[in-house]
Structure 1
């Protein structure tokens, strides 16, 4: 016998077998088509499941589960404590975790224009870590590296900027399908474009994933259970995802209606969380079911190159967040206060989500104060479009649009053998709707079909 204890937020999926036919789990695949990841323990196959978070498993010699005990349940137990006390506790805990993870190593820090990587930069600078930082932006997109470079220079970090070029996906798509197992779409993980660059950067990644969920609030009022389910469905469903999944459900002649099935699944999973506060409960839901099956999937690209550390995934951080009053988590105020107190020079650097404002004046990001920036930014985008280089805002625009991308996209979907379980007429209709109709509405569906095409080749009919 052996035991496996999964973290509160696992960094990777651990699969195990159950007594069931080795058939495609079409219901689970419909959910994947709707939201872009698998729910709970689901996988592509009926006989394969994923170990759940925060659980201690006992397995026999053939890796069958004999016993499973949950050791952590998300809760909301707010303490009677001041904001400044919470801030001090957060600072001590966060810097302790970062210090332990960075001990005697050269840290690789992906920098963005947001808050999570900026908090890491603060902590790494304070402990005197050796840091190699980098950032990237899209070809013909917003120059995100500008903010990251400013942060790195202020901290004294080594820095390298990269450009994510149009159509890079087709040269790496087969490797990516093997690395993430086709449990995520292929357009989201931009880091795949520079995978070969990681080798010479440092010893260990410090990744800021999930800080934006733990240290923020959905700012919802107290909701009934059904209203919480509605809120989650709205949050989870991708643009066009419900219609796409419903079409597959009907195509495969599954019992009932997809929307009813999906609602029932979300409701049942939400019932596993014993929290009364609406915002704390939805944060717990996302941390229990979303982070391990979506966010963690593409961590495999980083870990393919070097070991990874995630301060916001640390069990101690999860336990800490359960005791913080919800009012202190709203609008990222703890992270903002930490940066302003510990590194005021970093607080004065532009915040991408509120550009051109920073952490000291982002409250001015409203009319009429932000009108000049909005007008100028819109003119810049329109001029780019007139020059023949449309402004790129989304990952799929870089990979799906243009003559070469169209060729490779159609080739991968239509010549993958996927028609053995999704009719060719359906595949062609989806592609036509994307290229001749509303590409924004259809982009997610095409991204999922591309993922299923590689899954079919690499993991199903390999």
Structure 2
């Protein structure tokens, strides 16, 4: 017998066996298609489950689950403390976690134009860590690395600007499938485009994932009267994913209808979270089911190069969040105050979500203050359009658009063994909608069909 304890937000999926037949879990796959991640303990097969966050399990020698016990349940019990006290506590905790994880190793730090990695940069600068930083931008897209480079310069870090080229997916697709076992789609992880460059770097990754969920309001103020189920449903359903999941549900002759099945499951999971505060409950739901089954799966691409550390995943950080008043978390207040307090130079660098403003003046990102920037930005886009340059905003545009990409895509979507699984009429329908109706809306559906095709080729018979 072996006891395994799963962290509150685990970095890795741990699989175990249950007493079911080794058959495809069609219902779970439909959920995977709609959301982009498997829900709860689901996997591709009925007899395989993923061990759940915050629980300890006893497994036998064949990895069969013998027992389980809960070690942590998300809660919301805000302490009566001042914002200043909350900031001091966050500062101490965050920098302690970062220092422990760094352990005097060289740190590889991905930088973006946002706040999570910026907070890490400030902490790493404060503890005097040895840092190799980098950022990437799409070829023909927003030059995010320009902001990141400013952050690196202000902190005195080494910096590399990496450009994500078009058409890279097809050369690395099979390697990507080996890394993530097809538990997330392949068009989002830009890391595969630069994996060999990662391997040449020295150090261990410090990643800022999930900071934007823990350190922001659980729900928008305008959604205060929206039901918890509707909030989650609206958040997790991907454009085009619902349509494809419904079509597969019918194709596989599953009982009932997909939407009713999914909503019932989500409501059941919500009911298990004993939190009355709506925003805190939504944050807990995301941390329980979204982070481990989507965000963490993507970490495997970093792990293919070097060990990873995720400060915001630390158990102590999760427990800290449960006791901080929602108003202090809302609108990134704690992170913004931390950066301004620890490193004013970094705070003065533009915030990508609030361009061209920074952490001191982002409240001006509204009319009429932001009109000059918006007009200039729009004119630049129109100029590029007139010159025949396509502005890249999404990773799938690099992978699916153009003749060469289309040939590679069709090669996977129309493999005979895959058509036997999902049906040629279904593939025709969604491929044609992507090509002729609304590429943005149906891009997720096409990406999930590609993922399922690769899985069907590599793992279905295992």
Cα shift at 1:406: 0.9
Matched position secondary structure for 2:227: helix
**Backbone CA RMSD of aligned residues:** 1.2
Instruction: Report the counterpart of residue 36 of structure 2 in structure 1.
Output: 36
- With normalisation by structure 1, the TM-score equals 0.98
Cα shift at 1:417: 2.0
* Contact 1:215-1:329 within 8 A present in 2 as well: yes
Instruction: Report the counterpart of residue 308 of structure 1 in structure 2.
Output: 308
Give CA-to-partner distance per residue, 1:134-180, whole Å, 9 cap, x none.
00000110000000000001100000001101110000000001101
Instruction: Report the counterpart of residue 80 of structure 1 in structure 2.
Output: 80
Instruction: Report the counterpart of residue 274 of structure 2 in structure 1.
Output: 274
Q: How does 1:198-237 map to 2 (within 5 A)?
A: 198-217=198-217, 218-220=219-221, 227-237=227-237
Q: How does 1:431-442 map to 2 (within 5 A)?
A: 431-442=431-442
Instruction: Report the counterpart of residue 355 of structure 1 in structure 2.
Output: 355
Matched position secondary structure for 1:192: helix
Q: How does 1:248-327 map to 2 (within 5 A)?
A: 248-327=248-327
* Contact 1:220-1:278 within 8 A present in 2 as well: no
Cα shift at 1:220: 4.0
Change in 2 beyond 3 A, CA 1:287/1:364? same
* Contact 1:113-1:352 within 8 A present in 2 as well: yes
Instruction: Report the counterpart of residue 191 of structure 1 in structure 2.
Output: 191
Q: Quote the Cα distance in structure 2 between the aligned partners of 1:61 and 1:18.
A: 13
* Contact 1:381-1:391 within 8 A present in 2 as well: yes
* Contact 2:58-2:65 within 8 A present in 1 as well: yes
Give CA-to-partner distance per residue, 1:389-432, whole Å, 9 cap, x none.
21011111111111111111111211262111111121122111
Matched position secondary structure for 2:234: helix
* Contact 2:179-2:301 within 8 A present in 1 as well: yes
Q: How does 1:95-244 map to 2 (within 5 A)?
A: 95-217=95-217, 218-220=219-221, 227-244=227-244
Cα shift at 1:29: 0.7
Aligned residue-pair number: 461
Instruction: Report the counterpart of residue 61 of structure 1 in structure 2.
Output: 61
Cα shift at 1:223: 5.8
What are structure 2's unaligned runs of at least 5 residues? none
Q: Quote the Cα distance in structure 1 between the aligned partners of 2:265 and 2:441.
A: 25
* Larger mean Cα displacement after TM superposition, 326-335 or 247-256: 247-256
Q: Quote the Cα distance in structure 2 between the aligned partners of 1:110 and 1:403.
A: 32
* Contact 1:13-1:297 within 8 A present in 2 as well: yes
Cα shift at 1:221: 7.0
* Contact 1:416-1:456 within 8 A present in 2 as well: no
Q: Quote the Cα distance in structure 1 between the aligned partners of 2:449 and 2:319.
A: 38
* Larger mean Cα displacement after TM superposition, 179-188 or 379-388: 379-388
What are structure 1's unaligned runs of at least 5 residues? none
Change in 2 beyond 3 A, CA 1:382/1:283? same
Give CA-to-partner distance per residue, 1:258-313, whole Å, 9 cap, x none.
11001001000111110000000000000000000000001011111111000000
* Contact 1:94-1:311 within 8 A present in 2 as well: yes
* Contact 1:7-1:55 within 8 A present in 2 as well: yes
- With normalisation by structure 2, the TM-score equals 0.98
Q: Quote the Cα distance in structure 2 between the aligned partners of 1:222 and 1:325.
A: 19
Matched position secondary structure for 1:460: coil
Matched position secondary structure for 1:233: helix
Instruction: Report the counterpart of residue 94 of structure 1 in structure 2.
Output: 94
Matched position secondary structure for 2:459: helix
* Larger mean Cα displacement after TM superposition, 10-19 or 380-389: 380-389
* Contact 1:220-1:279 within 8 A present in 2 as well: no
Instruction: Report the counterpart of residue 345 of structure 1 in structure 2.
Output: 345
Q: Quote the Cα distance in structure 2 between the aligned partners of 1:66 and 1:461.
A: 26
Cα shift at 1:22: 1.3
2:39 pairs with 1:46: no
Matched position secondary structure for 1:163: strand
* Contact 2:247-2:426 within 8 A present in 1 as well: no
2:383 pairs with 1:383: yes
Cα shift at 1:61: 2.3
Give CA-to-partner distance per residue, 1:4-58, whole Å, 9 cap, x none.
0000000011111112111111111111111100000001111111000000111
